[in-house]
């Protein structure tokens, strides 16, 4: 079900030229994503005995998800070069990363939330409204990577779209 004011979000997407959102995972997880009809939150997977072969997050990130009530959300970024993907690979949680391209129309879904930086980072701003969406620093998220950003701007590179529970396959454009 769409947000009542979805057209306001669409205007921002068009103005900022956001064509895709991104979700990184391990290639080994693709079979399960296809079999189960899309991407689910890790909490949903846990409750419904859907095994995530190679999760991107670790136990500490899951603890933080619970602390910030994010365990029921699928997290998406605006960048293909998400710093957490490289950390997950370096720590051995994922070995063959792939980046799923997600239709930004998931932003219109009623339960979708927005965070102006990584949603488990102290000091983030998060919510469901158009004003929360507009707090995202689009100039920063559109950078190719975070290396040339100031220390002050780097956290904003990891702004997130948080989709409640599930992203159906129809929104995953490269699966």
Token pair of 31, please?
Answer: 């079979």
Domains of the chain: total:
1
* pTM of the complete model: 0.90
Q: How far apart are CA 175 and CA 166, in angstroms?
A: 16
Of 28, 68, 38, 86, nearest in space to 160 by CA: 68
pLDDT in tens, 2-50: 999 999 999 999 999 999 999 998 899 999 999 999 999 999 999 999 9
DSSP annotation string for 1-13 = -B-TTHHHHHHHH
Does residue 106 lie in a domain region?
yes
Does residue 45 lie in a domain region?
yes
Does residue 1 lie in a domain region?
no
Q: How far apart are CA 65 and CA 83, in angstroms?
A: 18
Residues of the chain with pLDDT under 70: 58, 86
Does residue 41 lie in a domain region?
yes
Q: How far apart are CA 86 and CA 108, in angstroms?
A: 29
Domain that holds residue 78: 6-143+152-171
Does residue 30 lie in a domain region?
yes
Q: How far apart are CA 148 and CA 4, in angstroms?
A: 38
Of 114, 125, 100, 130, nearest in space to 15 by CA: 130
């Amino acid at each position: 079900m769409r947000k009542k004011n979805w057209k306001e979000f669409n205007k921002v997407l068009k103005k900022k030229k956001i064509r895709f959102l991104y979700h990184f995972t391990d290639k080994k997880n693709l079979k399960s994503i296809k079999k189960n009809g899309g991407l689910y939150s890790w909490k949903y997977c846990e409750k419904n005995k859907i095994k995530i072969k190679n999760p991107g997050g670790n136990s500490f990130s899951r603890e933080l998800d619970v602390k910030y009530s994010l365990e029921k959300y699928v997290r998406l970024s605006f960048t293909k070069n998400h710093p957490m993907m490289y950390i997950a690979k370096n720590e051995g949680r994922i070995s063959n990363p792939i980046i799923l391209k997600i239709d930004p129309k998931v932003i219109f879904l009623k339960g979708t939330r927005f965070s102006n930086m990584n949603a488990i980072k102290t000091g983030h701003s998060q919510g469901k409204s158009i004003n929360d969406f507009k707090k995202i620093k689009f100039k920063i998220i559109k950078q190719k990577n975070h290396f040339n950003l100031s220390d002050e701007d780097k956290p904003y590179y990891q702004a997130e779209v948080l989709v409640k529970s599930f992203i159906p396959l129809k929104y995953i454009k490269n699966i």
